Amino acid sequence: MQQYQYQQPSLSQSQSQIQQYQNREGELAPTLPLISQGLIKVDIQTYFQQYENLLAGFQPNIDLRLIPSKKGNSVLLTKAGAEKICRFFGLNYRLISEQPYLDFNNNIFHYSYQCQLYCNESLIGNGYGNCNNRESKYKNAYSPDILNTIDKMAQKRAFIQAVLLSTGGSRYFRQLT
């Protein structure tokens, strides 16, 4: 069994990025949705340090996956990891289904979702996800058996995108396209 170790980007590597967010008074300007909403009252450096502390406890192949590549390894967030991030920030989510496209005569099925993240009834952010049976991993599956799978995959993609966009998780994770 191959084991992977998640190595987080250090904050020292991001000092120039943090400096660009300073406002005219020299204070760190709120730039992340959670900070700009006033729900987390910390500067960006503290915010990402707390985020990194959370990620340090993530378990490979449960909360995140390492995908080896010739271009460099990619760290992907799993649904379980996204759920942990939501609990950490006190976020709830709502999935909104768009009208699915189900063409049984031509064997074409498509599901789309929007995921909205909330904190104390305030909308923090959203993400979109879709899936269809013409994707390479689903194209040879028998249509009635695949409907639930592609429906759940679209929901998962929307949820993970909402978490990454709303919490600044794209700094640490990549989302498969």
Shortest CA distance to 97 belongs to which of 119, 129, 143?
Answer: 129
pLDDT at 111 over 70: yes
- Looking at residue 103, its amino acid is D
pLDDT of residue 12: 38
| Ranges 22-31, 72-81, 101-110, 114-123: which has the least confidence | 22-31
pLDDT of residue 42: 65
Ranges of each domain in the chain? 11-171
Band (63; pLDDT cuts 50, 70, 90): very high
Q: Which two tokens stand for residue 101?
A: 């496209």
φ/ψ (deg, to 5) at 74: -115, 135
How many distinct helices (H) and strands (E) make up the chain?
5, 6
Average pLDDT of the chain, as a whole number: 78
pTM of the complete model: 0.74
DSSP string covering 40-105, please? S-S-HHHHHHHHHHHHHTPPBTTTEEEE--TT--EEEE-HHHHHHHHHHHT-EEEEEEPPPEEETT
pLDDT at 137 over 80: yes
pLDDT of residue 99: 93
What's the burial of 79, exposed, middle or buried (CB within 10 Å: 0-12/13-18/19+)?
middle
pLDDT at 34 over 80: no
Band (40; pLDDT cuts 50, 70, 90): low
